Amino acid sequence: MTLVRKPAPQFDAPAVINGDEIEENFTLAQFKGNKYVVLFFYPKDFTFVCPTEIFAFQEKLAEFESRGVQVIGVSTDSEDTHMAWLATPKDKGGIHGVTYPLVADTAKTIAQNYGVLGGEYSYNDEGDVIFNGVPVALRATFLIDKDGIVRHSTINDLPLGRNIDEMIRLVDALQYTEANGEVCPANWEKGKEAMSATREGVASYLASH
């Protein structure tokens, strides 16, 4: 079931902030009312596709921040593993230099509440708990507005890296619609024409494109 148009599930978990500091009780709630949030899940520290995405978010961090957006990464690794990865140089397979928060979802409850855990728990014939699938988060991204409502979500399978520029475009589209009351058509980008959500508005837009 989609979380879009629903309140984002809250969490209180350890996170590494500023690249070198552990905050034991990092919450999503602290941003409600004052910041948009791009919350992204990735499978695992010390892997291959994940650092390309993590650095891609870091490279665009100033653009997100200029739009009032807090970027937050989450995986099922521990905060100690996050810290070790952050302390490892880029040329040694690490992510040194990343400054936005990385949350430790060791209990896997955050991923489960967001519906992005790569499998599910069940029971075998003997009544023992088993896990079917992969016990890590899929590559999921959520755009959460200032009211704490999920406005966009995407979920990729493990081999499929995401497009960070698309997330910036979606932030721009959301902020435009909030400010202007218009809707954003296909392939809309900041600075381009939007349209009113009426038959006349759609007809006028299509006639001019």
Q: Tens of pLDDT along 115-148?
A: 999 999 999 999 999 999 999 999 999 999 999 9
Please spell the DSSP secondary structure of the chain, one letter per residue.
---TTSBPPP-EEEEEETTTEEEEEEESGGGTTT-EEEEEE-S-SS-SHHHHHHHHHHHTHHHHHHTTEEEEEEESS-HHHHHHHHHS-GGGT--TT--S-EEE-TTSHHHHHTT-EEEEEEE-TTS-EEEEEEEEE-EEEEEE-TTSBEEEEEEE-TT----HHHHHHHHHHHHHHHHH--B--TT--TTS--B-SSHHHHHHHHHT-
Asked if the model's pLDDT at residue 50 lies above 90, the reply is: yes
Asked if the model's pLDDT at residue 202 lies above 90, the reply is: no
Q: Structural domain boundaries of the chain?
A: 12-162, 163-209
Mind telling me the catalytic residues?
50
- Tens-digit pLDDT profile for residues 104-121: 999 999 999 999 999 999
The pLDDT, as a whole number, for residue 47 is 94
Domain formed by 12-162, architecture: 3-Layer(aba) Sandwich (3.40)
